[in-house]
Amino acid sequence: MKLIKLSSFLIIDDSTVIQNAIRALLSRIGVPTNNIACCPTAGAAVGNCKQKKFDVLFVDHNLGHGSTGLQMLEQLRLLRLITDNTLVYVVTGNEDPQIELAYTDYVPEKYIQKPIRPEEIIKVINHDLVKRQFAMGMIAAYTKDGLAGVKPLIFKAPNKIILKDSMLKLTSRLIKVNRLSEALSVNKALLSIIKESIEAEIQQAEIYIAQNDFDNANQLVDSLLPKNETSSLRLLDLKAQIAFNRDNLSIAARYWKKGFELAPYSYLRFSHLIWSLLAKGERYDAFDLLTKYAYLLPNSAFDSAGKRAMAAWGDLFLASEETLQDWSPESSWQRVSAKLKGRLRGIPCIAAQRALSALWQLKMNRYGEANRLISDIQLSDITDYETAYIVYLVYCEMRLDDEKEIIEEKWLRKLKEGKSPLAKLQALAFEKAKI
């Protein structure tokens, strides 16, 4: 219990009843009140985490103002306000298996169904804090003395569960800093002790991929996929990554699609799917997804004017003849985000609005109006890749080669310098737009 009393807790739930219940539970076992914070929304949680580092997060799924616990964790991860050492507990009444699977992207310690059982929560937290402390000690030993410093701790672990978690976290750290041979050594040592561990086998596949050993990675992932439903999202991502690194875009897109269909909540996975379709030239499939899932964008860490413009672009080309007559970027955004309650601000970017309006004018065969709109775009107003892509589409359709070259020099060049799969997919989509 000592570790619990020394830890800090953030309870994120729009129900004051749940907030007060967990707060009272923690206070009863001796956690100081100044180490317990509560908030009802994702935005408030981000604000709290900017001010203070928390050891433990209790997360509800359905938060206020239309946001979800998934979107909140997405923001916290992107802003680096939580780390692998942050213990996350999803405490929710939601029983949707797709949502529970989606949370595996953030590796929560436990998915707890309401109503909460106080004794169970305390027991779980205490055990997980002991695990975390041992893992941090193992990483510190490696930092000081390398693998030689880690070996004695293997025999001092309280139990195999704690040992496994600690070695997984050490391996993860070694992969991140590109110490791949040492990561593989720790990984193989863990598998020799535990014998079977899906987490360790997934890490082994990640190491193979980092080493460009795609044959072994693919063989390993194929052996794991049929029997590991709870790890299926990560495994499908790895299959997509392997295929993409082998220059097989069609297979990569297929696996990104499978992952998104299993749990359609990750905007990052959605982005990989959309840009892979555009890179393949399958625009109408992209249009369908952009309009169907536009409601995921608000409250997401990835929300931007350009991404909203992409959804409106999809709506423009799927619009009926009747809708097309009075089409506008603003009305389009309201239409595709209709699943959300309340009126949301539309596309807050003049460059994106004008480019979309120019595409509409071109669709209506009004080239003079399109030219006027596109001439009014200031390059300084283009602030993201998606807006640059929409503007580039207009330049390509109007065969404005000088303007195309400016976009290519500033935006396409940056994408080609990027190393992430998403940057490479976006670069391929830009190249496809030229044709």
Give the mean pLDDT of 359-377.
95
Q: Residue 434: its pLDDT value, please?
A: 83
Single-letter code of the amino acid located at 93: G
Cα dihedral 101, 104, 109, 113 in deg (nearest 10): -20
Which run of H or of E encompasses 58? strand 56-59
Indicate whether 107 pLDDT > 70. yes
- String of DSSP letters for 121-150: HHHHHHHHHHHHHHHHHHHHHHHHHTHHHH
**Beta-bridge mates of residue 57:** 10, 88
Name the pTM for this structure. 0.93
- Domains along the chain? 2-116 (3.40.50.2300), 131-213 (no CATH), 214-263 (no CATH), 266-434 (no CATH)
pLDDT at 216: 97
Rounded mean pLDDT, 396-416: 95
> What's the Cα-to-Cα distance from 17 to each of 10, 45, 423, rounded to whole Å?
15, 18, 44
What CA dihedral angle connects 251, 252, 258 and 260, to 10 degrees? -160
| Position 238 pLDDT exceeds 80 | yes
pLDDT of residue 340: 65
What dihedral do alpha carbons 133, 136, 141, 143 form, nearest 10°? -170
What's the burial of 49, exposed, middle or buried (CB within 10 Å: 0-12/13-18/19+)? buried
28 vs 95, higher pLDDT: 28
Beta-carbon contacts of residue 202 (< 8 Å; ≥ 6 apart): 224, 231, 234, 235, 238
Given this model, what pLDDT does residue 345 score? 67
In contact, 89 and 56? CB cutoff 8 Å: yes
Whole-number pLDDT of residue 94: 83
pLDDT of residue 65: 73
pLDDT digits (tens, 9 = 90+) for 241-262: 999 999 999 999 999 999 999 9
pLDDT value of residue 384: 95
Residue 18's closest CA among 62, 48, 56, 55?
A: 62
Where would I find the H helices in 79-117? Answer: 97-102
Residue 399's pLDDT band (boundaries 50, 70, 90)?
very high
Whole-angstrom Cα distance, residue 200 to residue 257? 25
Q: Where are the beta strands (DSSP E) in 286-344?
A: none
pLDDT given for residue 218 in this prediction: 97
Whether 253 and 277 have beta carbons less than 8 Å apart is answered as: yes
CB count in 10 Å sphere of residue 418: 14
Task: Report which of 202, 132, 195, 142 is spatially closest to residue 166, judged by C-alpha positions.
Answer: 132
CB contact burial 380-396 (16+ within 10 A = b; e otherwise)? ebbebbbbbbbbbbbbb
- The answer for residues whose C-beta is within 8 angstroms of residue 15's C-beta and 6 or more apart is 60
User: What integer pLDDT is reported at residue 30 of this predicted model?
Assistant: 93
Which of 185, 180, 226, 233 minimizes the C-alpha distance to 207? 180
Q: What is the pLDDT of residues 27-73, one digit of tens each?
A: 999 999 999 999 999 999 999 999 999 999 999 999 877 789 999 99
Q: Calculate the average pLDDT of the chain.
A: 93
**387/118 Cα distance (integer angstroms):** 50
Does pLDDT of 329 surpass 70?
Answer: yes
Task: Give the pLDDT band (50/70/90) at residue 95.
Answer: confident
The dihedral sign for the CA sequence 349, 355, 359, 365:
positive
∠260-264-269 over CA atoms, to 5°?
45
